Amino acid sequence: MRSAALRADQALRTAVDRVRPAAHRVGEWVAPLIQRVLQWLAPLLQRIQGVPVVRRLRERVAPHVEKLPESVRRAPRTRSMQAGAAIAAVGVVGLVIGSAVAGSDETKVDDAAMEAPIQAQQAPAQAGPIPAPPEAPAQAGQPIPAPQQTPAQAEQPIPAPQQAPAPQAQPVPQAPLGPPVEGIDVSNHNGAIDWSKVAAAGKKFTFVLATDGTGFSNPRYSEQYHGAKNAGLIAGAYHFARPGSSSAEVQAERFLNIADYQADGKTLPPVLDLEVDPNSGGCYGLSVADMHLWTKTFNDKVKERTGKDPIIYANPSFWRQCMGGTDTFGGHALWLASYGVDSPAVPNGFNDWDFWQYTDQGSVAGIGGNTDLNQYQQGFERLKQLAG
């Protein structure tokens, strides 16, 4: 009988010796896992240990554990098995405690777990204001709610957005100055004109009579005016003024209706031709002040319809006699008539001449008989700019 017991004991010891290396390796692998699990369970276990049922259970079990033999508690061969038993004991204790504290105690544990992060967030409030949590990005398709205003913010008026100042209109840079440019002016007296020959003769611009006073219109105006532009010349229309025959408004409207001004880059501003009365040689029976008013009214009507200040045609004697040498119209371009001189005298009220009609006895290819010849003083580029 004893021999059999010894053989059984020997067999058990042999089996334990075989299992122990494997158990040791399992223990080395399981130990870190158990440590992480215990770290995760530690806060919950601390709360559970404070439950009355658990305290009473520990008080009852502790005396029995102390009564165990020293050899049982420290036996080296059973250390791995004790670790496994400890893990199992933790699970059993968890199940027992879960059943024991179900109901009101379970609710208290859940409440404590829910309150813990809230208390952690509220704790910094004693030292200062709680920083606003970062906003989560808006989900696609979900509108972003507008921030709520406090009553104090709602009462404050919302400042109106400041408008950017309107951009200032930049002045157009002046074209470069060039040598004088040759041109002509014509009327019905010149008849049919071959404008291609006029252009080939080097003429760059022309003025064409459109209207005279209240009752006369150039029957060849459209033919001459559009023929010149079709040949590549820059063209402008002029009105021979008769201030004593009708109002400035009437003559200006009639002139503009026939002139057909176009802002096409090939048309010079309309021209007001001011000369002495062909019948009496005087100022149409008007005073200097009346002549100023009539001229200004005519010019204003042209500016209203075309956006351009008219060119003023005059000679020095007329400007002195009928206009009193005024500088009221000094901002207008001056087409000055002065024959038989090398350099014309500029009337008082103007700084310089722009166009100069220097003869009425000119000869130009494409035109039968004599015609008026002119120069534009500031060059072709500025002539084109004036027609812009």
User: Catalytic positions, please?
Assistant: 185, 273, 275
Q: Which of 233, 176, 179 is nearest to 366 (CA)?
A: 233
Q: What is the DSSP letter of 328?
A: T
Is the CB of residue 192 less than 8 Å from the CB of residue 232? no
* Environment class of 106 (CB within 10 Å of its CB; exposed 0-12, middle 13-18, buried 19+): middle
Is the CB of residue 385 less than 8 Å from the CB of residue 174? yes
> Which sign does the torsion angle of CA 51, 52, 55, 57 carry?
negative
- The DSSP line for 157-182 is PPPPPPPPPPPPPPPPPPPPP-S-EE
Tokens found for residue 297: 């009214």
Q: Which of 287, 295, 290 is nearest to 271 (CA)?
A: 295
Is the CB of residue 239 less than 8 Å from the CB of residue 187? no
Q: Which residue has the tokens 């031709």?
A: 273
Q: Which of 192, 307, 311 is nearest to 261 (CA)?
A: 307
Tokens found for residue 278: 């062909």
Q: Alpha-carbon distance 243 to 298, whole Å? A: 10
Q: Alpha-carbon distance 239 to 369, whole Å? A: 23
For residue 220, list its beta bridge partners: none
Q: Alpha-carbon distance 183 to 208, whole Å? A: 11
For residue 311, list its beta bridge partners: 271
